[in-house]
Every structure is written in C-alpha cells, then in structure tokens.
Amino acid sequence: MIVVFLGPPGSGKGTQADILAVRYGFYHFDTGARLRTEIASGSELGQTIASFTDNGNLVPIEVIRELVMTFMRNTDSRRIMFDGFPRNLEQARVLDEGLEELGGDLDFALYLEISEDSLIDRIVNRRFCPECGEIYNLGSRPPRQPGRCDIDGAGLYQRSDDTEEVFGNRLKVYLEQTVPVLEYYKARQRLYKIDGDQDIEQVAEAVAGLIGLECNDSA
C-alpha cells in the first residue's frame, strides 16, 4: 500500500504519518526531515536548500527527485507513505514515474482540510526538539517544562520559517502550486479528504478507517 499525505503547512501531515509508521508499520518518507538534515550538515547543498526554505519557497525538483528515487530503491516495505511530497504537479509526475519504474502504484492521496485560523495557530506556536524530533504546540500541546523536550530535556526551537509573515508566503506558494495536485489525484480517483480540524486521535481514526486498517493490523 502506498499513501501520500497532502495539506497546507501545519495541517498535521507529519503527525499522522508518524502514527501510520508506529501503529501500522508504514515506511515513512518525510521530505522536510530529510531536507533539514542536509541543511543542518552545513554542506553546500544544505545552504542552497536553506535559501529556498527560509523564504517559504519550494526546493528545486532535481534535489527532490534524487531523494525520492533513492528512498524507493532502498526499501522493500509493503507499506510506504510520503509526507510533504508531492507539492506540485511536476513532483506528482515524478512520483508516478518512479512508482511505475518499480512496478508500483499510488493507492491513496489523503488531503487534510483545515481552516486558515487553525493553521496560523499551529505554525506560530510550533516548537521542535533538535535531538529526538518531537513536535510541540505552545497552545494545544505544550511541553511539561517550558522550553524543554519532555523526552530528553533538550532545548526546543522554532524553525525560521514558522512565523506568521513567512507562513503567508508559504500558504501562497501552497495555493498556487499544490492545490492543482488535488485535481490531479481527483481525476485519477485517488483523492480522499479528511477533516484536519479534529483532534489528532480523531484524524488518526479517520485515516485508518479510510484506508482499511485496524488497530491490530501491523505490517
């Protein structure tokens, strides 16, 4: 089974992808995490990537293509999901070509619908742990100790693009380039919409039910 999560920045794609990985054994391709790892390395490629992401722009297809193809060639998992990819029609076609090359096909494109007010709240209050990758929200899911990760005690940080100003640009880019992907998958009868304004567990239950998984249905 191959699944992609679609939705605007802050809609909860990463959280739901993590749940599928932990509960149902999906192998998780997280574009954002892979790109951030490269940025953190300080390499020339990482600096190039940062010049795009710091301003809320999309990373060039040449970089994404190599990340995706390497991922698919190196896994034999029966369950694969993509989070943060594809973000435009070109990327959607790259994914289709890669899957076809490997004899696979996309099963579900899950779109998390969410209000703009909820998005802004999630973005500006979002904090990350640099050690374990845990994500917090200062409003809805704060750490027990302010500024510290519950798991390892590391100091939390706010991404440079998690501000209301940069978010406005990110949302504009999303509307211009990602929304057409919804029509692409709708035409292929692969698009399924889920109410992303629900709490995390409600969304997780909706996702599992839609793609036909039970709580004890591990890989």
Active site residue 172: no
Q: What is the three-class DSSP state of 19?
A: helix
Active site residue 78: no
- Alpha carbon of residue 87 to chain centroid: 10
Burial 146-178 (b: 16+ CB within 10 A, else e): eeebeeeeeebeeeebbeeebbeebbebbeebb
**Whether 59 contacts 68, CB under 8 Å:** no
**Whether 58 contacts 172, CB under 8 Å:** no
Helix count and strand count (H, E) for the chain: 9, 7
Q: Which of 65, 141, 148, 159 is catalytic?
A: 159
Q: Which of 79, 87, 122, 127 is catalytic?
A: 87
DSSP one-letter string for 44-88: HHHHHHHHHHTTTPPPPHHHHHHHHHHHHHT---S-EEEES---S
State the Cα–Cα distance between residues 194 and 182, nearest whole angstrom: 13
Q: Which of 36, 122, 126, 127 is catalytic?
A: 126
Active site residue 34: no
Q: Which two tokens stand for residue 163?
A: 């501000």
Q: Which residue numbers are catalytic?
A: 13, 87, 126, 159, 170
